[in-house]
Each structure stands twice: as C-alpha cells, then as structure tokens.
A and B are shown apart, each in its own frame.
Chain A
Amino acid sequence: MSRSRRLPHLLALFATAVLALAACGSGGPAAGGGEQKGGKLVVYGALHENEMARLLKAFEERSGIKTEFVRLSAGEIVARVQAEKAKPTGDVVLGGPSENHQALALGGMLQPYDSPVAKDYDKRFYDPGHAWHGFYVGALALAVNTERWKEEMKGRPIPKTWDELLDPALKDKLVVARPDSSGTAYNFVATQIFRLGEAQAWDFIKKFDTTVAHYTDSGAAPARMAGAGEYPLAIAFGHDILKPIEAGYPLEIVFPQDTGFEVGAVSIVKGGPNTESAKKFVDWMLGREAGQLHTDLSKRVSIRKDVAVPDGAVPLDQLKLVDFDVQWAAQNRDKVLRAWGERVGG
C-alpha cells in the first residue's frame, strides 16, 4: 500500500523542523531576563525597517555580537517597554525623539550609561543623568506634493505656517501619524502646546483634525504617502521627507515658523537580558562609523561634527524653532495622549 509510506515522510519533515527550531530557539531571548553569555542583543528600533537591518548588520560584523530587532514606532516602543517592565525582553531602544526615552527614564525603565564616546558631546544632546544619548537631530516639516498641489489647489500658495493649515479649503488634504503610536506625531502635538499654550493648542488640534484625511501609525509613513501622491500634504520630520525626495517623489519641504524638533536618541533598557552588549552597542552607535552609516542611510543630520550634513538637509541653527521642553513633554505624555484620545482619537 503506497499510502502507508506517506506518514513517515511527514514525520521526517516534522523531526527536521523541530530540530531546526530547537537550533534557532537556543539563541533566542530566554524568559526571565538577566545577563546571558552570548545571547542575541535585542533592539527595539524606531528607525526605518531597512535602516535598522543594515545598521545592525554592520554592528554584528564589527563586534561579533549577534542582534535581533523589531521595528516599532517610538510610542509603541514606550508602550512595549512599559508593558515588559516586570520582565524586560529588549536591551536597546534605538531612535525616536528623546522625550519618549525620557518618559521611560522617568518611569525608571532605562539603565543609565555614561558612554565614553559622548564625553565631548554638547550638553543639549544627552540626558544629564545619562539615561539616553542623542545621535541625530531633525525638525518637523510640511511635505507638499507639488504635482498634486498644482492639480488640486489651482494656483493657491503653499502653506508656510502651522496656522495656515486650518484653512477649510484644506479639508482632508493632509496625513499625519497618531501621537500615541508615533514619536513624530507626539512631537507635533507637543510643538503646538509649546507654541500656543495648552488651552489654545487643543483648539488648534481640534480644528486641525478637519484638515487631516487620516492618521497613520508610523511617523514617517505620511511623507511617503504624500510622495506617492495619495495626499497633497503631510507632516513628518524633515529627514523622513528628504528620503522620498531622493527616491524620486515630487515633494517639497516647508519648515513652518516655530517648528518642533527632535533629538533622536539611543538608550538601554534596565534589566534587559544583555546589558553589557547593549553598552557596546551604544558606544558604537554614538561613534563616527555608525554616525556616518546612519546619516547615509537615513538623511538625518548627525550630532557629530565629523559627519557631513547630507545634501538637501537643513541644519537646525538655520531654522526658527519653538522652545521645546523635553522634560515637560516626557512628564505630561500620558496626560496629553489621553486628551488627544478624547478630542480626536484618530
């Protein structure tokens, strides 16, 4: 009977799979945390998927330390690290505005580490307690799809200020991310609060909701959507707009007056499974080699003087920035998000 021979085939297949799984699993993060010899460094990253993959590959080659990562938006990382507080499974939080890192630091969830590489860094770019260190800066900007704008808005001038975005003619013309999941969008909401004061800021955000066609999860996605012509306008960090421009999308960057900015940071999760490897990673990430690679991949402006400003990027000192209080933004994150959820909610 030819049938009876099928089952052994399947059994063999299964046995192979189990063995392979066991082989893979042995390198994975074990439950319980603590220091492990030779464990894989687990990175929660808010950078773009392919930037993460390439950066970590370079780190693996340089250090011999194996890595694993998940790409999440900055707010999602905050939620995840908070959720795992009792049993951290991540080691490093890579990227995303520093107010998100600071929110974790306030909750006692980051491991302070005074990296020797950051010795001569400007004080603005790291937490005084060394809970996080910045490695890039960027300002919020408006991405305008010039082709689509011409088609749809018929000679209307491109908006140059935040307040011009409340124009009823712009109804459903703009995409931006949700502040609970995206660090970019939280930076945007906080910027309005610093610019207008709390009460008026909520007025602005409520009216602004009419301009928004829809809210995405990731802060960089709106720039790509506007780039692809799905919407004429998007709000994102300047570097996230520069990337689709380089890919050939017809976008123009506008930095409104009193715009917000981020210090993109890296930090170590307290009690993560591989804290020693995490320190090595932070040292590497803050160094020149990673700084250059990261800027090449992402068009973000490095805080290192020895990494050239990428073509088309605008250094922060040439912009009129809002007085951005990272500490306030970190302390009031939950409150602001709840208020946003009640008033707008995506």
Chain B
Amino acid sequence: MTAVAPRPPRVRPAPPGRASRAARRLVREPVTLAVTLFIAAVLIVFVLWPTVNVFLRPDAEHWSRFLGSARMWDVARNTAVMTLLSTVSATALGFLFAYALSRPDIPGKPFFRIMSVLPLVSPPFVIGLSLILLFGRRGLVTYELLGLNLDVYGLPGLWAVQTMAYYPVAVLVLTGVLRRQSPALEWAGRDLGHGWWGIFRTVTLPLAVPGLASAGLLVGMYVLADFGNPLLVAGSYRVLAVEAYHQVVGTFDLGMAAVLCVALLVPTGLFFWLQRAWLERRSYVTVTGKESTLDPVPTPAPVRGTLFGLLCVVSGFMLLTYASVFAGALTKTWGVNWTLTLQHFEYTLLRAGDLTNSTLYAVVAGFACAVFAVLAAFFIQRRPLVGRGAMDMLAVLPGALPGTMIGIAWLITFHTGPLAITGTALIVVLMMTVRTLPVGYRSGVSALQQIGPSLDESAQDLGSGSLRTFRTVMLPLMRTAFTAAFIYAFVKSINTLSAVIFLVSPGSQLASVSIMGLAEHGYWGEATALAAGLMLVTFAALALFRLLTGGRVKLFEL
C-alpha cells in the first residue's frame, strides 16, 4: 500500500437501497428487462460487432502492405489535405452565411435559409455532378459561355464541391450559436466606442469561437467521410474513402479495405470526440436566463450590402447547381447537342424500381429509426439497468463512423457467418436505420430532458408498468422528437450512398447508387434525370410531412 490515498472517484453515492430497488423492479417488471435486452442486442449486433470486426479483419500482412506502400501514404496525405482545405473554407463560408442570417436588417432571409438547407436534403453528390456539367472541360459556364478550358478533376474541383456541399452544416450549427449571443454585449461594445468591425472582432467573433470549432469539427467529419464527390470529381487525386471502395469492388480485398477504414476512422473518431467535448463544455455562456429584449446593433450599410451580396452569390450558385441538374435531364447530349428531349426521363421510367426502392426503404427505415430511437432513449435514460453508459455510447457511435467504413464493416460481418443477410432488402433498411439512429436518439434524449421525472414516477406510483408508462405518458410527450427522427431518417436514407453502395443487390437497387453508376459512365442525361426524380420525390415527401404535421416539426428549420 502506498502512503498516498487515491482521490475518491467523483461519483454520486448511490442512495441506499437503490440496487435492491432495481432488483425488485426487475422481478416486478420483466418487460423492462426484455426491452432493455432487445435494445442491447440490436446495438451489440449492428453497431458493436461490425465495428470490432473492422479491427479484427486485417492481419499483419495487410498492415505492413499499407504502411510500406508509398502510394497509400500519398492517399492518406491527400485525404488530410482535402479535409483541411474543405473544412476551413466550408466553415468560413458557413460562418459568414450564418452571421448574415443572424442580422435582422438583412432582407430575404427565409429564401436564403432554404437555399442553405437544400444541399442537406438532396443527394450529396449532386453538387459534384453539376460542377462537371457547369464548369467541366466542356461545361456550360466555363466552355460555352466563357470559352475557358478548366480541368475540374482533381483537388481544386473537389475543394470547391465540398465547400458548397458542406457549408450548410456549419450554417446550421452557427446560426444557433450566433442567435444565442446577447445583443446587450454588442451594445456594450458600441457604448465603449467600437465601430462595427471593433464589435465584430472583439465581441462577436471571440464569442463564436467554440461554435466555430464545433462546426469545423462536424464539417471535417462530413468531408473526411465524403465518398460520392471524390469518386466523381477527384480524378486521380485518390482519397481514403474511394480507395477503400476500390479495394472492395475491384479485388474484394476486405482486409486491405478494413485497414483503410481504420485509417479513416482514427481522425473521424477524434473529431467526433472533440466535438462532443466542445458541446459539453459550453464555457462561453451568454444565455443567462435574463433574456435581453434589445435589438442587435444595426449593421452599417456597406457591411450589409457586402453580406447581402455574398448571400446572393452563394444562393445563386446553389440555384444554378440545381437548375443544371434539371437542365441536364432535359438536354439530349450535354456539351454537344443542346436539343431538348424527354428521352432521359423515359429511361428513368425504366428504372422506376430503383426510385420506388429508395422511397420505400427510406420510409420503413425512418419509422424503424424513430421507434427504436425513442424507445432506446426512454429505456436507456429512464430505466437504466446495466451498462447505461455503454449503451448510450453505442447509440451515438454510428454518427462517428464514416459511411464507407460502416458499409465495409457490415459486408465483413454479415456476408457469411451466423447472420448472413447480404443481398437482401432487409440489410439495406437496417443499415439506413442504424446510420440515422444517433440523431434520432439524441432528439429523443433531449426531449426527455424537458420532461420532468415526476410525471414518469407518478405513473409508476399509480401502478403503470414501464411499457405502459412509455406508451401512455412519455410517447405522447415525445411525439415531436419521434416525428423529427422520422423525417430526418427518411431524408438521410433516401439520399444515402456511401454505406449502402456495398450492400445493394439486384433486388434492392437504390436510385442513389444507380445515379452514381450512370454518372461514372458519363451518362449525364440519364444520371441527371434520375437525380432529378430522386430530388422531386424527396421534396414532395418533405412537403407531405409538413402538411401531415401541420408544419410543427421543423427539420433544419425548413
């Protein structure tokens, strides 16, 4: 024994009899046990097991081949450079956009807000597709209008695409942060004699630093995991996600693919952890409960003009992007023959099964995600039996895993062995459910935080079992969280590509995967027509949900 007594661990002392109470509840409520076991089983089988397999699959030979290959180091370096550049630019653009949106004296905000959300509800590679159509070697803007010969394939093109594709993520995080900043601080700065720039530099920006870091880390995770855009526009600039994909489809070298996945997971996991740490610290609190009724300091006209101009340029670019997809779908041969045609849409009808699959699977996955997420949130948070921390972690873990990695992990795990379900529609739907679980679970947890435990306890005291309490008391109160989880999971699932591309089979082909295949073969007309179809279905579904929920549930503020 050492002389120094260890510091007592900082745990709350358990109230006396707590363990025995839990034990008694177990006996009285086998339902709780059953549901908890079910939740735990799902999380272990579909989250933990595949993740562990990625680490177990490669042997020493794979690792030495990876570490000894100069090319792989190039790929890793490329990935790092891409992540750094795109994250910084997307976060910076997102900050400017969010700052403009948080100023009350900038006109047309509802429109700009919708523009900034569009990339989040459309397939992630649409921007890459339109970049080629608009700014490629034979792009409409660069070649036809400006007579330029731009080579978009490679890092510059990828950088531009990812900046436009992921700045909305930063906008989402930062509008919240900037809106919470108290105007009183700005006024204080002004009373001390600062101009707009002084206030911005000494008040607004420093207060936004934690938000910026958090947004940057989130954007970084998206960029690192991006698969569709690099596949389309990176050309010979190879990045990890695409390289892992080639290891699978080209030679089915799952060991090497797993090594690349681990290489991809390390930085993503780090970003994820850091981001959560930032979010939990929140040391720069400006919401004190004493809400200020002040209006923000007016923005000087030149700044207002500049910001408005910026919003117009970015939104105009967004509009152009989407317009080019629809134009591409209606053009006979892009770049050569600009005649209008419906022949590509006729082809879309031939592949209508893919669109139906995408929609159907996304609806089922959306519902499964919402049910499971809310159930898991309630039982993990309010009826913890054992391993609450571990289950909580597993429920949010898929959010930290790049799509490519989950896809390969599932291929390794469910291709053979006790649960061989590859080649079925089931695995695709399960994948969509698990991928969207973290957001659904979090919205369930935050809804629970607003519901006092006393309600729950009164129901119990009146003799209601866990399931009944959940159904009659909690579920009605968590309905908003439920619907939000459903809509989010639907939108994400219908557009998802990076993970499901490893799991689709002829019977469960998805529109997003087909679009990618068509685009990769240079069938721009067919690819854009199918992409247009997919976007129309998504937007129609969003409109329908809005109608059904009476516009109460806001997804991405849309």
Contacts and interface: CB of A to CB of B under 8 A. Distances in A.
Interface in B293-347: 332-337, 347
Contact of A4 (B426, B476, B509): B476
Contact of A50 (B69, B149, B153, B523): B523
A50 B348 CA distance: 10
Contacts of B518: 49
B416 interface: yes
A69 B505 CA distance: 8
Contacts of B360: 17, 20-21, 24
Interface in B417-434: 420-426, 429
A214 B367 contact: no
Interface string B224-251: 0000000000011010000000101111
Interface string A139-183: 000000000000100000000000000000000000000101100
B522 A13 contact: no
Nearest to B517: A71
Contacts of B149: 151
A18 B426 CA distance: 12
Interface residues of A, number: 74
A231 B505 contact: no
Contacts of B347: 50, 53
Given A29-B505, A230-B136, A10 B483 contact: yes
Nearest to A220: B521
A21 B399 CA distance: 27
Interface string A70-100: 1110011001101110110110000000000
Contacts of B509: 68, 70
B503 to A, nearest CB: 12
A40 B153 CA distance: 40
A231 B335 CA distance: 13
A217 B337 CA distance: 26
A70 B510 CA distance: 10
A14 B250 contact: no
A48 B547 CA distance: 41
A229 B335 contact: yes
Interface in A103-141: none
A14 to B, nearest CB: 4
B202 interface: no
A292 to B, nearest CB: 20
Contacts of A224: 521-523
Contact of B505 (A48, A89, A229): A89
A14 B369 CA distance: 12
Interface stretch (B161-169, B449-457, B548-556): B548-556
Contacts of A90: 506
Nearest to A226: B522
Given A69-B506, A82-B252, A218 B520 contact: yes
Nearest to A69: B506
Contacts of A49: 514, 517-518, 521, 523, 526
B179 interface: no
B145 to A, nearest CB: 15
B548 A10 contact: yes
A286 interface: no
Contacts of B420: 31, 87
B504 interface: yes
Contact of B251 (A212, A220, A337): A337
B375 to A, nearest CB: 15
B71 interface: yes
Given A31-B421, A248-B333, A14 B246 contact: no
B363 A228 contact: no
Interface string A193-237: 000000000000000000011111110110011011111000000
B315 to A, nearest CB: 29
A31 B423 contact: yes
Interface string B37-49: 0000000000000
A43 interface: yes
B440 to A, nearest CB: 14
B364 A21 contact: yes
A40 B361 CA distance: 20
Given A49-B521, A248-B337, A180 B246 contact: yes
Contacts of B424: 25, 28-29, 31
Given A31-B421, A49-B518, A70-B505, A76 B416 contact: no
A318 interface: no
Nearest to B236: A214
Interface in B509-553: 509, 514, 517-518, 520-523, 526, 548-550, 552
B421 to A, nearest CB: 6
Contacts of A18: 364
A229 B137 contact: yes
Contact of A213 (B236, B517, B548, B552): B236
Contacts of B486: 10
A41 B471 CA distance: 45
A5 B189 CA distance: 50
Q: Which of A220, A225, A342 has the most CB of B within 10 A?
A: A225
A237 B151 CA distance: 25
A9 B364 contact: no
Nearest to B509: A70
A208 B422 CA distance: 39
B483 A6 contact: yes
B442 interface: no
A72 B517 CA distance: 8
Contact of B236 (A6, A53, A151, A346): A346
A312 interface: no
A345 interface: yes
B508 interface: yes
A3 interface: yes
A249 B416 CA distance: 46
A28 to B, nearest CB: 4
A280 interface: no
B508 to A, nearest CB: 7
Contacts of A24: 356-357, 360, 425
Nearest to A11: B367
Given A90-B506, A213-B236, A214-B235, A221 B249 contact: no
The residue among A10, A216, A221 with the most chain B CB atoms within 10 A of its own CB is A10
B462 interface: no
Contacts of A89: 422-423, 505-506
A218 B521 contact: yes
Given A28-B507, A31-B423, A76-B250, A6 B549 contact: yes
Contacts of A151: 149
Contacts of A227: 336, 522
B479 A6 contact: yes
B350 interface: yes
B477 to A, nearest CB: 11
Interface in B93-140: 136-138
Given A9-B548, A87-B423, 7 more contacts: A3-B550, A14-B363, A17-B363, A50-B347, A80-B249, A89-B505, A220-B522
20 contacts: A6-B549, A7-B479, A10-B548, A14-B364, A21-B429, A44-B506, A50-B523, A54-B350, A70-B505, A80-B249, A87-B423, A214-B235, A214-B236, A217-B249, A220-B521, A228-B336, A249-B333, A249-B336, A250-B336, A337-B250
Interface of A: 2-4, 6-7, 9-10, 13-14, 17-18, 20-21, 24-25, 27-29, 31, 40, 42-44, 48-50, 53-54, 57, 68-72, 75-76, 79-80, 82-84, 86-87, 89-90, 151, 178, 180-181, 212-218, 220-221, 224-225, 227-231, 247-250, 337, 341-342, 345-346
Q: Across chains A and B, which 7 residue pairs bring their CB atoms closest together, nearest first?
A: A224-B522, A180-B250, A28-B507, A68-B506, A214-B236, A214-B235, A79-B252
